[in-house]
Amino acid sequence: MDAEYMPSLWGVRLRGDELILDYCQKSMDNSAITRQDLPCELGLRYGPHPRETMDVYGYGRVPEDAPILVFFHGGYWVEGDKDMHAFVAKPFVESGLAVVVAGYPLAPESTLDQIVESARLCMTCVIKMSKQKNSAGIIISGHSAGAHLAAMVLSSQSWTSRSESLTCIKGAVLFSSVLDVKPLLSTSVAKDAAITVNQAEINSPLEVVNLFPQDVFVQLVLAEHDPPPFHRQTKRYMKALRDRGIRCELVVYSDEDHFSFFQRLMDKEDEVTSQIIKNVLRETGTA
């Protein structure tokens, strides 16, 4: 069961620890270059936890009222950080968006419930910033466990029922998403993150899709060689969204895996990346 949910075992060119090390090194190198090349404000605090900080990229190069894309990193809620994911900002800033790369508390120190609430707290802060800047709108995004957080932010009735949330948030971009936490209960992932049965049930986007706001566009993204459960869950989620009349679209990075597709994401001229950006700009009225 573990193997089916371990993206590093499904790599195209590398596998296992070699793939993870390669991804981490490229991510850190590309992020260092991004921090040099793009105007940025680092370590802005949105909550009391030491990891509740965010980095903002683009202002000074993009207009003050530019759309804002928020990105939550992956790592199965137990690893990863915002610093090594600065590179995600590159194609979007080059296309006229400001980008927020968010940090958040990790398990097992924090529970999955607390991590989801942290993501919502971050978005509350970004909404405030968006209103101050008269932004064209917010796109919430994430990769893997970060995509799970993005989906869960938009699946809280108490949060999305606030008028400012629905007014500001125009869309979601979910890369290689974890959309059903329950199957992870029989894997080492749940043990490492100390996820309980109750936490898995109430924090599975597929279980709360009925709470997803009706007018937020969802861009689903997969790598061709993402593990099979990621493909199955994404297609189930797409059907569930469409059954509720929610607009959504799926694009796939061919011949890429859970990690390698990021190299193409950084190129705004890439066929798949350009389609994602086109949809983001359309939803924020800045195409």
In single-letter form, the type of residue at position 52 comes to E
Active-site choice (144, 165, 176, 177) = 144
Mean pLDDT estimate for the chain: 96
Output helix, strand, coil percentages for the chain, rounded to the nearest 5: 50, 15, 35
Residue 54 main-chain phi, psi, to 5 deg:
-145, 155
pLDDT of residue 171: 97
pLDDT of residue 287: 79
Question: Measured between alpha carbons, how far is 78 from 49 in angstroms, rounded to an integer?
Answer: 15
Determine the angle formed by the axes of helices 112-132 and 145-153, rounding to 10 degrees: 60
Q: Is the pLDDT of residue 163 over 70?
A: no
CATH number at residue 51: 3.40.50.1820
Q: Sorting pLDDT into bands at 50, 70 and 90, what band is 156?
A: confident
Q: Is the pLDDT of residue 1 over 80?
A: no
Note down the domain range covering 162: 3-283
Number of separate domains in the chain: 1
Question: How far is residue 179 from each of residues 54, 123, 184, 200, 216, measured CA to CA in Å?
Answer: 24, 19, 11, 10, 17
Active-site choice (135, 226, 257, 260) = 226
Q: Is the pLDDT of residue 276 over 70?
A: yes
Active-site choice (73, 148, 225, 258) = 258
Residue 144 is a catalytic residue? yes
Where is average pLDDT lowest: 11-15, 164-168, 265-269? 164-168
- What's the pLDDT tens digit per position in 88-99? 999 999 999 999
Question: Measured between alpha carbons, how far is 57 from 39 in angstroms, rounded to an integer?
Answer: 6
- What's the pLDDT tens digit per position in 67-116? 999 999 999 999 999 999 999 999 999 999 999 999 999 999 999 999 99
Q: Sorting pLDDT into bands at 50, 70 and 90, what band is 165?
A: low
- Mean pLDDT to the nearest integer, 243-249: 97
